[in-house]
Amino acid sequence: MSMLHFVALAPFIVAIIIPFLYKKFRHIHTGWFVLPVPLLLFIYLIQYLPLGGEAMEIVENTVAWVPSLGINYTVYLDGLSLLFALLITGIGALVVLYSIYYIANKRDEPLNNFYVFLLMFMGAMLGVVLSDNLMVLYVFWEITSLSSSLLIAYWYHKEKSRYGALKSMLITVAGGFAMLAGFALLYVMTGALGSATFSIREIISYADVLKDSPLFLPAMLLILLGAFTKSAQFPFHIWLPDAMEAPTPVSAYLHSATMVKAGIYLVARFTPLFGGEAEWFWIVTGVGLFTMLWGSVSAIRQKDLKSILAFSTISQLGLIMSLLGLGSAALYFDIPNAGSVYSVAILAAIFHLVNHATFKGSLFMVVGIVDHETGTRDIRKLGGLMALMPITFTISLIGIASMAGLPPFNGFLSKEMFFTGTLQSMTLDIFNVQTLGFIFPVVAWIASVFTFIYSMILFFKTFTGKYQPEKLDKEAHEAPMGLLIPPIILASLVVIFGFFPNLLAYTIIDPAMQSILPGLLTEGEQFDVKIYHWHGLNPELFMTIAVVAFGTLIYLNLDRWKETTFFMRERDPLNAFYDNGLDGLVTGSQKVTKLQMTGLLRDYILYMLVFIIGMITWTFIKFNAFQYDFANLTLVPPYLWIVILVIIAASISLPFISHRISSILVLGVIGFLVALLFVIFRAPDLALTQLLIETVMVVLFLLAYIYLPELKKIDVKPRFNIFNLVVSIGMGLVVIVTGISVHAMRNDLDITSISEYFIENSKALGGGYNMVNVILVDFRGMDTLLEVLVLSIAALGVVTMIKLKMKGGEDI
């Protein structure tokens, strides 16, 4: 196992020991034990950055996990995975440092839970971006959903936190299931080629052949569902605003820099496979642009700072997603270098991915500082904080200006490249873009106007205007340096990448582009990644000037619209579909449960019998299994008739017995006579098992005799139920027909009994002569294991009830 394997596993290993450290060192903030993990991983990963214009060395290492199924823990480090791994660990280190000062080390604050969940998420995200095996990627993918939901519900005493966690879990896990189905289709498609594989690299190498498969489009759509739900694309974006109930460090980490970028990563990773296809181009681009527009418009009507940033994140994720869609058209061209002219969209996507992580991470931390030092995030109560919180104000100015796309910050550069990508796409003569391509720059420009507006709202409503101490929970003051250092570092990167963007050109951007757009360049070449502030008086610059002009004009007139229905309705209208759907599921499940769980054993038996009759009847019809052969029947000896008649008589008498002792004894007689039948038919193992069970049952009934209910004769009018009659006759016929068919098959020389297989292989494959034991332990080992698991769960339930010593009426 290589060191890269431990990059993803290290956070999980540390998470195991965090509860012990928390208990042992309660006087030390647990975050100090966690901080070295992302910091050391970040330092380790930096060594893989290519320096001096050299090409990045791709690393791949494999550890066998379930090799028989093609599932191995394979880590694959290329430019794309390195970019995301650095974001996860670098911003993770800053978030942990921020958390140490944001979350107080109180006795009632479960810090061990917080950092265990945070480490789980960090390890899962690293596993997602480093895994080459689809099944391993899926496992890590779902752990991100689980751990993020736990983090959102960290303050579980709040109803909104629980609601947000549930919504996040349901939507992202549902998308994950769809993605898993897409992965399965890819495996089936490669299997049709004679080399079934879960390796992403190998699947991409078959791209030209797989495109002809009828399963190609369904696989694409299912994988996109997983990506869209995780990256909060319309209409699945509704979980992200409610996830803001999590502590601010969680929002800064999960919902701006890492988790929501998992869907972006998935789309980027599978672009070499699906890119160049019209469906991929239009779906990814269209959904991304609409999400950008919807998120930016929704942000301007929010009153909570974190809600504004939440919809801002949705909008920015849509921007990056649309760029990946636009840039995928470059793979349509087969001739090297022919498609590289259209790769500027991919360049912009990668650059803005980094930029968004820096300015949005700093802004989330700033919002946490404002909330921490004033006691509110409501912009209607804030204002005038510029003089009271000058450092926080400066950080905000840098982050907001970058988010708004103003020079000289890094957001301006990637936004200009975004405009370039949309304008450039209009020149494509593929996928009918020449007809509808004008929509791309128009939607991009409108969404950018609203982005500028919500950026102004965020800044001016918080830091300018009149200070309102009477509306605040506490007197505003500057935050301690521990809270300021992480956002200062991120804001510094915003400035550095703004003035020196080419620091990232061939260390981060080009290697990532090589991973997303393989084959566009000849071997040894690099993309032309040169980023400048000034490109002359071009259309992109005029679009930016128009954004500022129109955005300012609309912002100055916002007060005229604040009483309209649009501004009054802060909550996204699509939430109604989720809430109604969830209520419908609950109501429907209650109706089904009420219909099914009647509390009457006869109803449960009825359901089971109907199912058994249906399945066996379908099997007989499907496989034409009915046979009969009455030629080799033997006579039933008289003593066997006596045993059978006694069993029948005892069974019929049970409903009419009104004494508990008599009922227990008759029930035991029936069990012992069944054991006698097993002896007669030469099944000693079954007979011994039956005898033991019946003995234990009779003893237990007698021991619990005093607690058994009195048997009372109930006077009820006999009622004829045609349905019960049909089920009873049907079950009897099924048993008779099955017995006749089995007897006939035993005499059919063309049919080999399965018992012959066990007789021949019990010793060879199972190592034992007792065929029954070998079947249970080896041939049906998984079944037996699950039976033991069920018994263990039942035992735990019994122990729990004994320990609780409940008196009745408790709400558990």
DSSP string, 146-174: HHHHHHHTSSTTSHHHHHHHHHHHHHHHH
Q: Which domain holds residue 372?
A: 279-562
Q: What is the largest CA-CA distance in the chain?
A: 109
Burial class (CB in 10 A: 0-12, 13-18, 19+), 448: buried
* Per-residue model confidence (pLDDT) at position 401: 96
Of 41, 155, 146, 39, which Cα lies nearest the Cα of 96?
Answer: 39
pTM over 0.75, yes/no: yes
Residue 708: predicted pLDDT: 77
Judge whether 436 lies within some domain.
yes
Predicted pLDDT at 550: 95
Q: 337 in a domain, yes or no? A: yes
Number of domains the chain contains: 1
Question: Alpha-carbon distance 15 to 143, whole Å?
Answer: 14
Per-residue pLDDT, 99 = 94
Question: Please, where are the H alpha helices in 575-721?
Answer: 575-596, 601-623, 638-653, 660-680, 684-703
pLDDT value of position 747: 67
Q: Is residue 534 part of a domain?
A: yes
What residues form DSSP beta bridges with 378? 304
**Residue 755, in any domain of the structure:** no
Residue 649 domain-assigned (yes or no): no
Q: Is residue 369 part of a domain?
A: yes
Tell me whether residue 581 is in a domain: no
Q: How far apart are CA 365 and CA 368, in angstroms?
A: 5
Q: Is residue 412 part of a domain?
A: yes
Cα–Cα separations (whole angstroms), residue 583 to 170, 571, 577, 661: 14, 18, 10, 49
Q: Are strands 59-66 and 71-77 parallel, antiparallel or unpaired?
A: antiparallel
Q: Could you tell me how far CA 178 lies from the centroid of its own chain?
A: 10
Q: What is the mean pLDDT of each run of 10 residues along the chain (812 residues)?
A: 88 95 90 95 94 83 88 93 95 95 83 94 95 95 95 91 94 96 96 91 93 95 96 94 91 84 95 93 96 95 92 96 93 62 86 95 94 91 92 96 94 94 87 87 96 95 91 88 94 95 92 89 80 87 95 90 74 89 91 85 89 94 84 81 91 84 89 91 86 90 81 58 87 91 74 78 85 84 86 90 66 46
- Determine how many CB atoms are found less than 10 A away from the CB of residue 220: 22
